[in-house]
Amino acid sequence: MSRQYVPKPDGFDHLKVFDAFNMAARNPEVDVVSYLDAFSELSRFFDMMGMLFATMASDIRDQVEIMEKILRSEKGSYYQTVRSTMAYEKSEPSLLEPKRKDQSGSRTLLHLNRTLDFFVQFLTTMETVPDEEKLPRICQPAYKATLGKHHSWLLSKAAGAAIATLPTKVGLYEKVSKYPYQQTAENMTRMVKAMTEVFTKTDTLFTENNLQSLPF
């Protein structure tokens, strides 16, 4: 497939994700609003990858909506950063109980950060492979090492079926990107760097607060 494809005017915007994650990382405690802005665009990436990825896109939007609802609540001031979210909910242990009606901000952010781990591992490897590399070969190991460890057997089977439909690297660029090939490749590098920084900071906060194993 040629590198000369027609960009999609309404395609996935790597720079929007880069800007949002870059803004989130400027706050050492990780800004939640910017974090959610990045995920709103990432959900569109899944949408454009095909019908079989619709469940993953919907899951991201559901988690973003949960956090946005929390931010709009009377307790929203406690949830401005990832660190403040954890600190507040640890001071109110009932908020971390898995069966309570109100959703936990910490649990929701953990869910999203596990998804971010998948994106980081998949896209980091994708950057290094040739244009005509078939993406299922690199996406499946990334899924198994991240989200696959937390998904049910049924969901894992569905994810495997979706991953099997992925095109080549350049085919994916053509399918989803708002930008021409060279600009897409450059934007991808910037985006992955910002994603990795935010994932690492957030993951470290979960480890420091002993919240990596929150029950769902």
- Quote the pLDDT of residue 2: 55
pLDDT band at 71 (very low <50, low <70, confident <90, very high): very high
Cα–Cα distance, 199 to 20 (Å, whole number): 13
- What residue segments make up the domains of the chain, in order of their start? 14-208
Cα–Cα distance, 154 to 145 (Å, whole number): 17
Average pLDDT over residues 132-161: 93
pLDDT digits (tens, 9 = 90+) for 12-67: 999 999 999 999 999 999 999 999 999 999 999 989 887 778 888 999 999 999 99
pLDDT band at 185 (very low <50, low <70, confident <90, very high): very high
Cα–Cα distance, 45 to 120 (Å, whole number): 14
Average pLDDT over residues 171-194: 95
CATH class in words for 14-208: mainly alpha
pLDDT digits (tens, 9 = 90+) for 51-60: 778 888 999 9
Q: Which two tokens stand for residue 1?
A: 């497939």
In sequence order, what DSSP letters do the residues of 43-112 get, joined into one string? Answer: HHHHHHT-GGGHHHHHHHHHHHHHHHHHHHSTTGGGGSBHHHHHHHHHHSGGGG-TT-SSPPHHHHHHHH
What is the pTM (predicted TM-score) of this model?
A: 0.94
Q: Give buried/exposed letters for 9-23 (b at 16+ CB in 10 A, else e).
A: eebbbbbbbbbbbbb
pLDDT band at 101 (very low <50, low <70, confident <90, very high): low
Q: What is the DSSP letter of 129?
A: S
